[in-house]
Structures are given as C-alpha cells and as structure tokens.
Amino acid sequence: MAASGRLSEYLFGWFRKTPAPARRALLASCFGWMLDSFDVMLYALVLAHLMSDLSMSKPTAGLLGSLTLLASAFGGMIFGVVADRLGRTVALRASILIYSVFTFMCGLSQNVFQLGLFRVFLGLGMGGEWASGAALVSEYFPSEHRGKALGFMQSFWAVGYALAAVVTAVILPRLGWRAVFFVGILPALLVFWIRSKVEEPELWKKSRGASSGASATETKINNETSGSEYPGQDELPISTNKGPGRQPGLVSGRLLKITLAVTLMNALTMFAWWGFNLWIPGYLSLGQSQGGVGLSTGHMSSLVIFMQLGMWLGYLTFGYISDSLGRKKSYVFYLLSASLLVFLYSVARTPLLLFFLGPVVAFFGTGYFSGFGALTAELYPTRIRATLQGITYNSGRIVSAVAPLAIGSMAQQKGFQVAFWLVSGAFVLAALSWSLIPETRGRELE
C-alpha cells in the first residue's frame, strides 16, 4: 500500500497540489489540443474516400496535407505574436474557433480546389492553438512540473486522434465523408468555457505591465556576460536590441545558433511524424494493388485507435522522463528508437503484426513532442516566449510541409515501404541535431 501511495503521489500529486486557475488553464489547453487533433486528422481518416470521390492521386492528396501544414506554420507565428500582445487565452479562443469552422466547411467541398482552400484556413487555426496553449501551460507551472504538465497537454493529441477514428468508424459508412467533417464544428463550443473560466497567467500580466511602464527595467544578457544564471549550463545570450528603430525581443549570438538548431530538429521530427501518420490510415485502407494493406474502414479505425494508446502513453511518460533525466537524453533516445521501429513497421505486412507494432511505433515516434514546449519555454524570456515558441515550432512546420507530398509521391513511384524509410532517416538526423542544443532542465522562467 505504501509503495502504491508513493507511486500515486509521484504520478498525480503535482496535479492535485496545483492551484485551481492553473488546473483550468491546463485543461483548456488539453481540450483545445485534443480537438485540434480531432479536426485535423479527420482528413487522414477519410483520405481513401476523398481520393476516390474527388479523383485525387497520392501526390495531390499529399499536397493538400502539405498546404495544411504550411498554413499552420504561419498560423502559429501569427498567433504567437497575438498571444504575447493580447493574451494567451485570447489567442487560444481565436485559434479553436477558426479550425472548427473550417473543418465544417471541408464537408461542403465540391472539388479539390475548395477542399484545399478550406484546409489552408483550418491550418491557420491549428498552428495557433499550440503556440498559445504551450505558453499558457508553461507559465502556470514551475520547472519541476513543467515537463509533466506539457506532456499531459500533448497526450491529448492522441486522445483527439482516437476520437476522430471512432467518429469516422461510426459516421463514414453510414453518412459519408462530408458528415464526418460536419462533426468538426463541435470544438467551437469550448471557446465559451475558456472565455468565462480561464485567466491569463500572472507571469504574462506582469510582463505586459513591465513593458508598458515608463520606469520598468529589463535584464539584458549578452555575449560578454561572464558566468551563467544556471550553473553547469551553456550560456544563452539574449539581445533585447533596444533603441530607436530596433525591434525588441530578437535573439542573437549563441542563442540565435541554438534557435536555428532547435528549429531544424523540430522540422525533422515533424517531417517524420506527418510523413508517417498522415499516410498510415491511407496505407492501411488502400488496396494491395495500390501498395496498401487493403483493410476495411472498421479494421483500419481499430488499428489507428490502438496506435493512439501507445501515442498517449508516449506523450505522457516523456514529461516525467525528461523532468528526471533531462530534455536532451530523453529526446535522443526516443528519436533513435522511433527510427528503428518505423523501419520495422515498413517491412511488416500482416494486419496482426501491424496491430501490435503500431502502439510501440507511436509511443517512441510521437512522445518526444511533449518536450518541445518545455525546451523552448526554458530558452526564452516571458515577453517574447510565445512569439519565439511559435517561430521555432512553426518554422519547423514550414520545412516539414513537404512531408505529405514527398511521402505520397515516393509511395506512388517506389511503394510505401521505401517512402517510410525516408521517415526513418529523418528521425536519425533529428537525433544528431541535438549535438547543437543545450540541456535546459531545471531552469525557472524569467
């Protein structure tokens, strides 16, 4: 009993001791991210039917996925600025409303052009949700629990994906793919609860008050700073670039190099994730003559739902592991494991083997995303945190936007097995990029 009590305290004690405003902020970000996943992944789940009804080839279907990711990159950057200037909850509400409305509009599409246009606007909202939600959660939780809180938030992506698979399995065979998209309007209801129940974090309020006060002072750490605020850590110079005609909040020096490395690492992981996960439902559903496995909608949905169990556990446990072992070691281990497992998945063809291998691939192939919010929150000061989180995360999305098109085109020419090998290679390169990124675990936010 004593051992189980200690385990329960370790796993859930941090949440029970969290003040009510922080719990509401975490839940708002969790549900926003869950419903983001729900809306975005509906496309992948009905992709085989869209390709048939709208006469889309694999490259065209991949192109639409790439357009969504490209739009989400710009959405994340835009809403990162909105979150820093107008508030985390304002940006969160706006992004949820946008992706809900345009998911519904996808169901009204009469041709590929209309569907692509609606997916672009959906992507804007999709990108904005992560930037605002990650900043909101980061600023409500201290360093010792930040990884766990962001991991909890990130785990809801798997819940949303599984929920989308359930809805698809129930609605698609009965009412068709248009009705599946119509369900995507429901997340808009969350906006009303966030507006009435979720407060802006005090850290953001103080930052805005300090930046607007005439007598406010700001800390400036530059390349000549001797010593580090964080003993044993690399120095991270931040340039405020204050002065006439100069934009405050730009990074420079070593931090600029680290920012570029973080962006590259994130781009590679996103390339791998979207290249693999956007095509998994299609790969399982398409007939063997098209290089797929040839499963029915029900069996495909079952395999996807089971994968989400591994994805959810991967997201959730990464927060605990990275808080204990550090961001760098945890990331590298997950990425190298994902590379090997994707390769194994690409050569497995029997449904039973894919069923059991899927959750393990999803565990290591997605769990690391839980660490990105904590890493970037610990790199940047409050007044520019959401902006730079949005830039690093969504610049990666711009690069990774080619993934659905690249994997679809390669699958068309060489088959899915070779296409998934490209995913495996991207995971290896992402792990190598960590040689340029410092450890940030334990840093309190400025």
Q: What is the DSSP string of 166-209?
A: HHHHHHHHHH-HHHHHHGGGGGGGHHHHHHHH-PPPHHHHHHHH
User: What residue spans define the domains of the chain?
Assistant: 18-208+219-225+233-436
Of residues 74, 92, 390, 407, the one with CA closest to residue 262: 390
Report d(CA 95, CA 89) in Å as an integer: 10
Q: What is the DSSP letter of 414?
A: H
Q: Tens digits of per-residue pLDDT, 303-341?
A: 888 888 888 888 878 877 887 788 888 999 999 999 999
Give the chain's residues under pLDDT 70. 1-16, 143-144, 207-253, 287-294, 386, 442-446
265 close to 430: Cβ distance less than 8 angstroms:
yes
- pLDDT for position 268: 92
- pLDDT for position 231: 36
Three-state SS for 220?
coil
Q: Tens digits of per-residue pLDDT, 233-284?
A: 444 444 444 433 334 445 666 778 888 888 899 899 988 988 888 788 777 7
CATH number given to 18-208+219-225+233-436? 1.20.1250.20
> What is the pTM (predicted TM-score) of this model?
0.67
